[in-house]
Structure 1
Amino acid sequence: MMPGTRRFFYCLFGFAVLVVIAGPVVAPRPEAAPVQVMQGWAVWQQRQCGACHGLLGQGGGFASDLTEFAVRTPLPEFDPNAAHSAMPLPASGVLLTDAESASLGALLFWVAKTDIAARWPPEPVKRPLAATRDTGR
């Protein structure tokens, strides 16, 4: 045997043992959204909440972004039908049912506790070139 060959094989064996013990490092898959959260998303879309409110950096921006709403408001106190400002909620004037309120609350609390909030939006929204061009006026 050549000098150093034995040490090389010992190192290689040690590395293989380490890999087997450590196991593959795999990022956990995100948890699928529960049924009530999906129902809340349907309410969000049907009632057009995003026309005024933001969620995950997207939305109308006329009212508060609700991404971290659950951090500020405990679930028992969540009532989208309550007037929180001069504008009645929902803006359509048709109050949400108890089931719709519960589903919408489940959506907002799921968004607040899920890591998707840190990854959304994937890149900044860019304005079209015509909107950013200086016209000299």
Structure 2
Amino acid sequence: MKNLMHLAVLLTIMAVTHHSQAQEIKFKDTTILADGTATYSFEKKGMGSQLLVYKLNTQETIVSLEQLHQGFDRGPAGNYVSFVFPGQNVTITSKTLQHNNWKFLVSLLMSEKVIDAKGNVDALNLKRFQQKFDEKIAAK
């Protein structure tokens, strides 16, 4: 039943991103380009398992994305992705989104209008995104 729910959420994500105006995201040096325009600064940590997205040319964190693992005995089933919005004190965890790359996840945040091109977080869209994707996975 849980796998069926994950499949339904994944199909919804694919439909939303297919029908929305997806941004073409590129990573160049320490800058994220959206449709060829410098939009955010970024830094990768933890051997690439964490992506910190900053407002352009600042160290003001918009969101921290991290690939995490929940217990060694669970194998790949224990993997999940965490979105931490420090300015809003919001954390979202999702197994459904774990297999997507950083470009897809940044594009998803933009297409869902959680973050805009200036690095602002829309509180209402963040709440909607949280309701849609947060699986409330507790770190062990």
TM-score (norm 1): 0.26
Higher helix residue share = 1
Please give the TM-score of this superposition, normalised by the length of structure 2.
0.25
Determine which structure has greater relative contact order: mean sequence separation of CA pairs < 8 Å that are 6+ residues apart, divided by chain length. 1
